[in-house]
Amino acid sequence: MQPFNLIKTQNYEELSQAASEIIIKVLKENPHSLYCFAGGDTPVRTLELLVKAHQEKEINLCDAYYIGLDEWVGLDRSNDGSCLSYMKRNLFDPANIPKEQVHFFNATSEDLEKECSLANEYIKKHGGITLSLLGVGVNGHLGFNEPGTSFESQAHIVDLNDITKKVGEKYFEQDVMISQGITVGIKQLLESKYLILEASSETKKEAIKKLMESKITEDWPVTALRLHTNCTVVLDGML
């Protein structure tokens, strides 16, 4: 028996629908709480469905607060490949979410440790994260919590694995030199009241296989989700 709720869907659209329905339900019950949504290819349609529900007045995304999951260190926020730009494009701008209700890492700051402290304080001020929507890296990372990251970690700076840097190249129109990330920690994600993991690419098969196995190990951060008591894993037909 899996320690999490497993939803297997036929395709990407069904995956996005299933995840968005859970988030909409939680938003209705916790409209003024703190939410953390991952970037990347997989959550795009889920975020579109949330915006649609907002525009149809089923929910009000402007009532909630948001914490950025991660960011590329040294990358200006205005860069189209930045995690903030992604969230602005796919959620914040279409829903007209006030910028005062969004906290994101400033990855060009001269004091990145302070950026970590500010994120920790923001999460604590809001009583923790109510729901985190996550994807998973090819190497099993969550956010930029790379293999070997302590499950007790809070917001921190991390040296990115070569595979993460290689996969990340697709988000940038021009060549960028990225070696580090800054991210919300695994401990904070595990303290979310609700966790959703989406996976829809064959490249994630090994990571999902590790998640399904019983061994929980920091070598595969995704296995930390087995420690959560209210986690839903949504897979499409490719997995």
In the set 79, 139, 145, 161, the catalytic residue is 139
Active site residue 146: yes
Report the alpha-carbon distance of residue 50 to residue 105 in Å, rounded.
23
Rounded-to-integer distance, Cα 4 and Cα 225, Å: 8
> Which is catalytic among the residues 54, 79, 115, 146?
146
Is 159 considered catalytic here? no
Q: Please identify which of the residues 54, 70, 71, 198 carries the catalytic annotation.
A: 70
Q: Which of 85, 128, 82, 84 is nearest to 104 (CA)?
A: 84
Q: Which uninterrupted H or E stretch holds 170?
A: none
Residue that is written with structure tokens 């129109």 in the block: 173
Distance CA 160, CA 114 (A): 20
Active site residue 63: no
Check if 141 is active-site: yes
Query: In angstroms, rounded to a whole number, what is the distance separating the alpha carbons of residues 204 and 198?
Result: 10
Candidates 54, 126, 141, 228; catalytic one = 141
Beta pairing partners, 199: 235
- Active-site amino acid positions: 70, 139, 141, 146
